[in-house]
């Protein structure tokens, strides 16, 4: 039996929709399970990365923690793929870049808040940064845009990678919405 390809995934600033779309692979997941082994992922709820062949990131880099996770996974994987518009372009998360961080926090915790009237602060809470696509923080090898990407696009990308080709999503199945 050929050794399974080790995969780790992470979600940064996102809605987890891309991982849900991955689960939409349905019966294709059965075949995929023969070929890959999931290590640290939100699905397995393992948080610490070990060296893997393929790292996958969903979500934009929106705070210092996101940046650290992205760098950690990059250091632990041979190929880094990103899923979704947030990771590829900044996406919905990046819309907050149109305002200052102070404005955003004020709006969330003062104007719209239903849980008190205080901006939380703790040394455990990572400070917000400008929202960036992943490729502005670490080197990215391949991209699957979409909000979320279709299961078809995710499947295409994984299949290509298993064939040891770097995928570029074909125009026909590429979507930004």
Partner 1 sequence: MKEITLTVNDKQLSGKEGSTVLEICQANGIDVPTLCHLDGLSDVGACRMCVVEIEGERKPVPSCTYPARDGLVVKTDTERLEKYRRQILELMFAERNHFCMFCEQSGDCELQKLAYRYQMDNVRYPYQFPSQTMDALSDYLVIEHNRCVLCGRCVRVCSEIAANYALDFSGRGVKTLVSADLAQPVSESTCTTCGACVQACPTGAIFSKLSLYRGITDECQRITTVCPGCAVGCQLDVLVKDNNIVRIEAPELSGIKGPLCKEGRFELLRETRPRLTSPLVRGKQGELEECGWDRAMEIIAGKVNGSKDSFAGMISSRLPNETLSIFNRFINEAVGSGLLDTLDGDICRVISEGIKRFQNNGNGLAIECPIEEILDADCILIVGADPKNTNPIIGNLVQRARRQKGAKLIVVDPSRNVFPLWTDLWLKPKAGSEGALLAGLGKALVDKGLLILEKAGTELIQSLKKYDMVKVCSETGIDKGRLEMAAEMYGQAAHGVIIYGEGLLNSEDPSLITCILNLAALTGNVEGESLRVISLKPGANSRGAWELGLAKRGVERNGLKGLYLLLGDDQVNDGLIDRLKGIGFLVVQASYQSPVTAMADVVLPSPIWAEREGKYVSMDGNELEIRRALKPREGMLQDQEILVKLSKKLGRELITS
Residues of the shown chain interacting with partner 1 in the complex, contacts defined by CB under 8 A: 85, 88-92, 94-95, 97-98, 133, 135-136, 140, 142-145, 147, 168-171, 174-177
Closer CB to partner 1, residue 6 or residue 132?
A: 132
**DSSP character for 109?**
I
Closer CB to partner 1, residue 121 or residue 171?
A: 171
Closer CB to partner 1, residue 51 or residue 99?
A: 99
Closer CB to partner 1, residue 105 or residue 174?
A: 174
Give me the least distance between CB of 175 and partner 1, in Å please: 8
Q: How far apart are CA 163 and CA 53, in angstroms?
A: 13
Order of strands, sheet of 52-58, starting from the edge strand that comes earlier in the sequence = 36-38, 5-11, 52-58, 77-83, 142-144
Cβ neighbours for 106, distance < 8 A, ≥ 6 positions apart = 119
**b/e map of 124-141 (b: 16 or more CB within 10 Å)?**
eeeebeebbbbbebbebb
Give me the least distance between CB of 144 and partner 1, in Å please: 7
Backbone angles phi, psi at 148, to 5 degrees: -85, 170
């Amino acid at each position: 039996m050929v050794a399974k390809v080790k995969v780790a995934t992470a979600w940064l600033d996102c809605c987890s929709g891309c991982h849900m779309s991955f689960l939409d692979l349905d019966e294709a997941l059965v075949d995929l399970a023969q070929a890959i082994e999931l290590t640290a992922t939100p699905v397995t709820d393992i948080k610490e990365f070990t060296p893997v062949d393929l790292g996958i990131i969903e979500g934009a880099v929106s705070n210092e923690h996101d940046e650290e996770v992205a760098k950690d996974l990059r250091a632990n994987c041979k190929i880094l793929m990103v899923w979704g518009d947030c990771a590829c372009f900044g996406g919905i998360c990046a819309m907050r870049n149109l305002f200052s961080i102070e404005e955003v926090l004020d709006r969330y915790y003062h104007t719209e808040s239903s849980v008190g009237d205080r901006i939380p602060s703790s040394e455990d809470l990572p400070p917000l940064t400008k929202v960036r696509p992943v490729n502005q923080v670490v080197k990215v090898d391949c991209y699957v845009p979409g909000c979320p990407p279709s299961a078809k696009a995710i499947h295409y990308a994984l299949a290509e990678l298993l064939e040891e080709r770097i995928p570029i999503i074909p125009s026909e199945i590429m979507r930004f919405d």
